[in-house]
Structure 1
Amino acid sequence: MKWVFICGAHSVGKTTLWNYLGKHLLIENQSPALLSEVAREILTADKIVDGFEDDDAMFQSLNYNILKAQHAKLEKARHSKATDTLFISDRGPLDPICYLQMFAKIDGIKNAMELEHVNTMIKMLQDANEALVFVIKPHKPFLEYDRVRINSTFEELLEYDQIMRQLMTDLNISFVYIEKTDLHLRAKLVAENMKSRWPKLAVKCFDQIL
């Protein structure tokens, strides 16, 4: 079982790339299995909008819930598909950790990192044979507020980006940094890295990605 995680700050084009890959890749002659963003699902379902990051207790609870739901989604996926399935996930387990580091008190991230299910997901990300992680660089023209995600300045997106890359480095999680802005070139980079990481995996692409 293989996992591709499309990570990074909000408003960088993760979901756009995730959707594009779902439509233009064939893995072993099948479309990849797509895992949607957990945080957006929870924020939308609970109708949480505007300034939730300013309430420290609420923000910590929200991100702990996201971590728990992320783990549950990954475990459900692991047990519901064939062992040769490739999943592409919109965001990954470290995203809530990065938000805790940015906006919550120090014990927020410390307590989260001690949770068993968080450590299970970190071990998944550390396994280069199983997981391939991408981090998308923020670009100012992509910045928009949709009343679901945190309303941030571009400087805050850059700070988040730095926190995520440093956290991955500290945890010995290898990742590919996507600096390109063109969607086609982003998808091509993902496909090329998949073929390089897993040479025995049959990756075919539509729309001249490769």
Structure 2
Amino acid sequence: MAENNPPTLSIYLIGPSSSGKTTLCGALHHALQLQHKDVVVIQEVARTVMSTQGFTRDDVGRYEMQEAIMHAQLHAERAARSQNPNSILISDRSSIDPIVYARLFAVTSLSTCHEDADRRLNALMRHEDFLGVLPTYRSSLVILFRPVKEWVVDDGVRSMENHWPVYAEFKKVLYELGMPHREIGDEVRDLDARVTLVLKWAKIPGSSKL
């Protein structure tokens, strides 16, 4: 499905859990609302899927959960663009995230046939709806978060995976997709400094005064 009416700018915060994405998402929303009336935020898609469809963090290795999260994320993005075509979109995660988690963790829940497992693991990346959103992603500001060890907290919901292999898989998938992106990690921990840096990268008109 082709994407229509993309927002003026989209910012996607992606990467391992407990790396500061949600916190920065909220801070960016607050900062941008000071200058821009129309700011749309997408958050908690994975949590909503898990709570409404009966998944838990123990299901991170289930292809079905990652597929459900990807479709829910794409639906949220389409709804945001349809209802607010001229808004600034900030998304905590993207449909790239479930692709990474499926490729990294879901192999044990699939067929024992290696070729069939490989086909299904990459099926999300080849899905028509995902391919349709790729041009929008490539024209957006995509920020990959590197892990910050001290921020890893077990909240009973998020997967407590080894964060560095997840980050490495994100790098691999972004490379395969030819996806331009920025990175942020423990070299910038202060929240205000992170907001300033992202707004500098985004080059949103009027945001230089924030």
TM-score (norm 1): 0.84
Deviations 1:158-201 (A, max 9, x none): 11111102211221111110122221111111110011xx5xx3
* CA gap 1:50/1:90 in 2 versus in 1, 3 angstroms: closer
Q: How many angstroms does 1:151 deviate by?
A: 2.2
Partner of 2:147: 138
Q: How many angstroms does 1:110 deviate by?
A: 1.6
Q: What SS does the corresponding residue of 1:98 show, helix, strand or coil?
A: helix
Partner of 1:181: 189
Could you tell me which of 22, 25, 33 is aligned with 2:40? Answer: 33
Structure 1 gaps of 5+ residues are none
CA distance, structure 2, for counterparts of residue 203 and residue 181 of structure 1: 21
Partner of 1:74: 77
Q: How many angstroms does 1:9 deviate by?
A: 0.5
CA distance, structure 2, for counterparts of residue 204 and residue 184 of structure 1: 14
Stretches (4+) displaced over 6 A: none
* CA gap 1:189/1:122 in 2 versus in 1, 3 angstroms: same
Instruction: Verify the 8 A CA contact 1:60 1:104 in the aligned structure 2.
Output: yes
Q: What SS does the corresponding residue of 1:4 show, helix, strand or coil?
A: strand
How big is the alpha-carbon RMSD for the aligned residues of Structure 1 and Structure 2?
1.8
Instruction: Verify the 8 A CA contact 2:32 2:39 in the aligned structure 1.
Output: yes
Q: How many angstroms does 1:75 deviate by?
A: 0.9
1:91 aligns with 2:93: yes
1:53 aligns with 2:60: yes
CA distance, structure 2, for counterparts of residue 149 and residue 108 of structure 1: 24
State percent identity of aligned pairs: 24
Of 172-181 and 20-29, deviating more is 20-29
Q: How many angstroms does 1:145 deviate by?
A: 1.3
Q: How many angstroms does 1:47 deviate by?
A: 4.5
TM-score (norm 2): 0.84
Structure 2 gaps of 5+ residues are 1-6, 108-117
* CA gap 1:186/1:52 in 2 versus in 1, 3 angstroms: same
1:161 aligns with 2:167: yes
**Structure 2 residue identity aligned to 1:78:** R
| Alignment coverage as a number of residue pairs | 191
